[in-house]
Amino acid sequence: MANRDCLRDTPVCAFQTGFPATKLVYRLSVKAWMEKAAKLREVITDILPVDVHHPQPLAPDALPSAGADCLVSCFCLESVSPDLATFTRALGHIGRLLRPGGHLLLIGALGESYYFGGPGVKIPVVPLNEAEVCGSLKESGFTLIRLEVYTLPQDMRVGVDDVNGVFFVKARKD
């Protein structure tokens, strides 16, 4: 699920948040980052509309009938779900895009109840914990392969949201 801004030549995504860690990482690894971005642009052949709340999130003929080998979703499902049931349902919907045995790489926020999408635009988020992420994966037909959790240090909480951590999941579609 790609964001069009990320495909432009300027590194918009690295700078738009003004997030101190993003700036630091960017300074430390600017060359590697730019090379990775260029490689990604080369291999992306299309950008399609997707709605994770729809049982069929992509147009019917968008993927090979067997399904996709791999799916990557980053800070999307929880940020568009007001509660755990909606998050789990959305996970089930995108799971249908994968072939059996295909892999899901899922990154998301923990403990976040809102973020500001713009000045004064407060967007509600389901505040997840690790056990809920694992439960939703199981309920949606995934086998968890690896879960990593990163706790946000206090000095990185800059007021655009109330996130307290990030989860990184690798899972396999049953």
Ligand X SMILES: C[S@@+](CC[C@H](N)C(=O)[O-])C[C@H]1O[C@@H](n2cnc3c(N)ncnc32)[C@H](O)[C@@H]1O
Please report, as ranges, the residues that interact with ligand X according to CB under 6 A.
3, 50-53, 74-76, 79-80
- Shortest distance, CB of residue 37 to ligand X, whole angstroms? 14
Q: How far is CA 12 from each of CA 7, 49, 51, 55, 73, rounded to the nearest angstrom? A: 9, 21, 24, 32, 19
Q: Quick one: 40 or 100, whose CB is closer to ligand X? A: 40
Q: Where are the beta strands (DSSP E) in 14-164?
A: 68-74, 98-110, 114-118, 121-124, 142-151
Q: Quick one: 17 or 29, whose CB is closer to ligand X? A: 17
* Angle at the Cα of 129 from the Cα atoms of 127 and 132, rounded to 5 degrees: 100
- Shortest distance, CB of residue 51 to ligand X, whole angstroms? 4
Q: Quick one: 37 or 50, whose CB is closer to ligand X? A: 50
- Shortest distance, CB of residue 74 to ligand X, whole angstroms? 4
What are 26's two structure tokens?
A: 């960017």
